[in-house]
Amino acid sequence: MSTDNNSQENNKIKNKEEQEKSKVKEYTIELKNLTKRFGEKVAVDNLSLNMEKGTLTMLIGPSGCGKTTTMKMINRLIQADEGEIKLNGTSVYDIDPVQLRRTIGYVIQEIGLFPHFTVYDNIATVPRLLKWDENKIKKRVEELLDMVTLDSSYAYRYPLQLSGGERQRVGLARALGADPEVLLMDEPFGAIDPINRLKLHDSFLEIQEEIKKTIVFVTHDINEAIKLGDKIAIIRAGKLVQYDYSAKILYNPANKFVENLLGQDRSLKALTLKKNKDFVSNEGVITVSKDTTEDEVLKLLQKKNQIIAFVLDKNDKLVGRYWLEKAKKDKVEINYDEEPILIEQNNTLNETLSTMFACGEKLLPVVDRRNKFKGIILLDKIFEEFNK
């Protein structure tokens, strides 16, 4: 990336900072000079960190640097030795721990679903503790299953009958059960394979756009941190190394440790800050219904001088793709894909670029988490953005 671009980015960051300064900040979680020792070992060392209402803060750092310990101090599963923890201005030590944990949803790495409970009963756990009536609980479970895009037939399955990604979705639904204000998520997607992890990221970001919770999210994966986080807190040996907006960290790493964490390909990683949905286009895009015949599609494509048509069902879900190929002697052939390669709107340009390289397509359809067609993205657009 050129110096010019860097200074442009820096200006953008500065403007954003000034806007931020003029806003009155509402902190949901405030950690002040927090310290926790286990015997001789200082697990968390004089840590101060404020999380604004409705933001997603990523905690990242090497194994054993104190991330889980910090999360557990917030919901009082572990008692801090020194320092203060405030939730909406009140010390957590002045809140009854049971009450506290109801206002804070917790998603842990091993998901922690109750194996002998159905999905329904898992999600209903906290609402039942709160003695909601069963009708209200039923509505809430249905709403949450829909939110994490599991259909209602999942309600009566047991955790062992689900895939890792599905279990993770149920874990998220359960943590959201009684609509807590704060979510603590400790490597929630750590055990999921990369492809399903991308899908979960996408759903998760869309869900957060809807629910705007204050979320603290632990990860080992810098790409995950850049992609999901509004802000990133980098921790090393219990101490805070840098805490800032993702863009600011990418363009101005505080020291060598942060630089190493970001890796060599920082300019590619900058594409991770850009979401597909901001680059989607509908220009010249042809969509047809499931009832359109192959002949009709061919005529339409030739008339509009296009080579691809996307097939949508009545809910605008992408269900197929027609494409023209030059056969011999100027004859064109029409082909059909039942499972076209697609990308999700909240995936990043960086991921889209990898997908395009992997499948050799310069144009891919973009969908939301419910598979609704949103438009297309072009390789040229990504190159343009990269070269800016």
Ligand X SMILES: Nc1ncnc2c1ncn2[C@@H]1O[C@H](COP(=O)(O)OP(=O)(O)OP(=O)(O)O)[C@@H](O)[C@H]1O
List interacting residues with ligand X (CB under 6 A): 38, 41, 43, 63-69
Q: With CB cut-offs between 5 and 8 Å by kind, which of Mg ion, ligand X, none does residue 66 bind?
A: ligand X
CB of 29 to ligand X, least distance (A): 17
**Count of residues touching Mg ion (by CB under 5 A):** 1
Residues 279 and 271: beta-carbon distance below 8 Å: no
301 closest CA partner among 264, 272, 326, 329 = 326
Binding partner of residue 28 among ligand X, Mg ion, none, CB under 5 to 8 Å per kind?
none
Q: Which entry of ligand X, Mg ion, none binds 38, CB below 5 to 8 A by partner kind?
A: ligand X
Q: Is 219 in the site for Mg ion (CB under 5 A)?
A: no
How many other β-carbons are positioned within 10 Å of the β-carbon of residue 355? Answer: 17
For residue 310, how many other CB atoms are within 10 A of its CB?
22
| Binding residue for Mg ion, selected from 28, 55, 57, 68, defined by CB under 5 A | 68
Instruction: Provide, rounded to whole angstroms, the least separation between the CB of residue 230 and ligand X.
Output: 21
Please state the separation of Cα 182 from the chain's center in Å.
16
User: Which residues lie below 8 Å from residue 67, measured CB to CB, with a gap of 6+?
Assistant: 59, 60, 61, 186, 218, 235
Q: Give the CA-trace dihedral at 313, 173, 70, 223, to 10 degrees.
A: -10
In sequence order, the β-bridge partners of residue 31 are 49, 85
Residue 171 Cβ vs Mg ion, minimum distance, rounded to whole Å: 16
Q: Which is nearer to Mg ion, 145 or 184 (CB)?
A: 184
Nearer to ligand X, 238 or 365 (CB): 238
Q: Which is nearer to Mg ion, 78 or 268 (CB)?
A: 78
**Which CB sits closer to Mg ion, 68 or 246?**
68
Please, are residues 297 and 331 in contact by the beta-carbon 8 Å criterion?
no
Q: Which entry of ligand X, Mg ion, none binds 263, CB below 5 to 8 A by partner kind?
A: none
- Residues at the site binding Mg ion, with contacts judged by CB under 5 A: 68
